[in-house]
Amino acid sequence: MTSEQPPVAKRVPHDRVHHGDTVTDEYFWLQDREDPDTVAYLEAENAFTTAATAHLASLRETLFNEVKARTKETDLSVPTRKGGFWYYTRTEEGRQYGIHCRVRAADGRTAPPEIGDGTPLPGEEILLDGNALAGDSDFFALGTFDVSVDGNLLAYSADFSGDERFTLRIKDLRTGEDLPDVIEDVFYGSAWAADGSTLFYTRVDDAWRPYRVLRHSLGSGSTDDAIVFEEPDERFWVSIELTRSERFLLIDVNSKVTSEVLVIPADAPLTEPRSIAPRRQGVEYSVEHHGHRFLILHNDGAEDFALSYTSVDTPGSWTTLIEHEPGTRLLQVDAFSGHLVVSLRRDGLTGIRVVPLQGSAPYDIAFPEPLYSVGPEANLEYDTTSFRLHYVSMVTPDSVYDCNLDSGELTLRKQKPVLGDFDPSRYEQHREWAIADDGTRVPISIVARKGTPRDGSAPATLYGYGSYESSMDPWFSIPRLSLLDRGVIFAIAHIRGGGEMGRRWYDEGKLLAKKNTFTDFIACAQHLVKAGWTASDRLVARGGSAGGLLMGAVANLAPESFGGIVAQVPFVDALNTILDPSLPLTVTEWEEWGNPLADPEVYAYMKSYTPYENVRSVQYPPILAVTSLNDTRVLFHEPAKWVARLRAVSPSTKVLLKTEMGAGHGGPSGRYDAWREEAFVSAWLLDQVGKAS
């Protein structure tokens, strides 16, 4: 076999029997990453992909350079106040990772320091340089970055392979030296107690589920760390956080549909955690501390959530603060000494509501564009009248505002620079609605360069996700400009299974209603064609992770509707994964997809849509699958098996598999590497729609 020929994976029959149904999985052997044949197959696929896309090398370099030329490489985030310091991150030209810094705050100063041209601020203290920490490693990611309440210590953890297993260290910010404390194999996040010498963190079990909260005292070995909480139910994940008021540590315990919060006083870290409200199946709640009460955002008798409170001293019954309003999904509450700020979603758009606690009536912050996304930024101070938010649209770059909570006045602190001749007035954004098979109206967000024809001649890409109530709200992208300027339309299908239209939107796209996610996406694709935005052979579908399952499903259901498909870290072997409780995340996923191991109806339903089981002998559009060897969320073998079966069953289909051999679920970690990865995908996409020249 040469790199010019498609790889052919060996076929080794492996029978699986469930509910009396026998299925042969001839590529089961690809699950063994220690098998030299597995690695050889992945490397052969990479070599073939390299050869098949060699003609795009010049275009890839052009696209990369366009992103680089539009990006302010030496830049600085808006500083955020916490205690006596302003914290920020900056980047330097030619360096892959951010540099985390702080400067002392001038007494009485409430506005952040001017950030100028993005160079270091006067009096800068570098807390952590990601470039120095990464060294020569091909991959680097932070898992926690947590400064103690007194500002003296930094807990940080790093992953150098992409498998999301982190090593935690503690840096003394007064000396700049790491302490001897080193804790291996921790998960994301941490929380400091008020004493500045006790740190809480989490660990995962063999199925990669964070199930334990541990307590570490500085100077003690990690083997002496006490188990503060352990969750035996494999459906639940645990996490730890410190409230904004810095008075309580919260242990959050969540499954897909049920939650419980336990509390520890931050000034008494040895105290046994107590439950604010015992878990009840199907009831979700989150907690925010506010003075004498705990605020509780919940769905108990409130599909789109309501806001209540209970006593800090004796948590018990809940008193309602904000009633349930069908169609207005409450997402988050941020509590400050004199105000509450509620993040919400209504009519397919996000919003911010301010609730003053004295005198004034609640109000919603207004924004001028028809499509946008808005949400809270880092707001670390409790005693403040300023709320920081993030705003973006498909034509307006990411913007950071401070809102005066008393007046509602917005002050723009920074808009992400886009260098060169970028002018947002050259682009237009639209909201349209597709009609699903059952008559449901499905929103689509569209952005195009002004003057793009509406006669079906323009190429387009349609992005989708549609799982876990995760919403694909409008966002701005510098790499996307390279597509728009070449006449490519970009659209987002806000399909069921996501949360764009409230909790019911999610419920109607999960479990035994999951197929709505796929048919909604196809309806959106067909709408774009009927409305003259594009034609089917010039429309490329794109999605990743659970959105990659979407890509595989729509490829099987309606291959004629697309001119190409990009599936990134795709969850395409979903049934086999969800049948195996030893694999990462499986048991926790049963409340999202159903339990095919126990329920024959779920088994049959999943088998009828999962991409790997439903590959057909039809002409598929060209497919690009991208994965990572060290991914712990969607294991590499899923796209590898899918591609192997596509080659065998539909040999005329042009399918490519690209595997990052040293990365995880998010792909390459360095920003320049990520730009090159995006340039690779964009060049392939342009090639499919005849815009590669």
The residue among 208, 125, 119 whose CA lies nearest residue 163 is 208
Task: Could you list the beta-strand ranges (E) of 108-245.
Answer: 125-129, 141-147, 153-159, 166-172, 177-186, 190-192, 198-204, 210-217, 226-230, 237-242
C-alpha 24/C-alpha 27 separation (Å) is 9
Strands 623-628 and 564-568: parallel
| 254, 236 Cβ separation under 8 angstroms | yes
Phi, psi of 458 (to 5 degrees): -80, 140
User: Could you tell me the CA-to-CA distances from 358 to 100, 209, 339, 355, 479 in Å, in that order?
Assistant: 37, 43, 8, 9, 46
Residues labelled as active-site residues: 545, 631, 665
C-alpha 604/C-alpha 606 separation (Å) is 6
| 159, 139 Cβ separation under 8 angstroms | yes
Helix (H) or strand (E) holding 571: none
* Helical axes 671-688 vs 57-70, angle rounded to 10°: 130
The residue among 304, 410, 286, 393 whose CA lies nearest residue 352 is 410
Tokens 């005693």 locate to: 383
Burial of 222 (0-12, 13-18, 19+ CB in 10 A): middle
C-alpha 253/C-alpha 286 separation (Å) is 10
C-alpha 387/C-alpha 62 separation (Å) is 40
User: Could you tell me the CA-to-CA distances from 352 to 214, 328, 332, 560, 590 in Å, in that order?
Assistant: 35, 12, 10, 41, 33
Token readout for 423 is 């002018």
- Helix then strand count (H, E) for the chain reads 12, 39
Tokens 């728009």 locate to: 484
- Provide the 8-state DSSP code for 219: T
Residue 279: strand, helix, or coil? coil
Residue 532: strand, helix, or coil? coil
C-alpha 14/C-alpha 43 separation (Å) is 23
C-alpha 412/C-alpha 288 separation (Å) is 27
CA dihedral 313, 317, 321, 327 (to 10 degrees): 140
Partners of 404 in beta bridges: 386
Token readout for 271 is 């105290």
- Burial call 87-112: b when 16+ CB within 10 Å, e when fewer: bbbbbbeebbbbbbbbbebeeeeeeb
Please, which residues have CB within 8 angstroms of residue 651's CB and are 6 or more apart in sequence? Answer: none
The alpha-carbon radius of gyration of the chain (Å, integer) is 25
C-alpha 226/C-alpha 556 separation (Å) is 51
CA atoms within 13 A on the CB side of 28: 13
Token readout for 194 is 């008020």
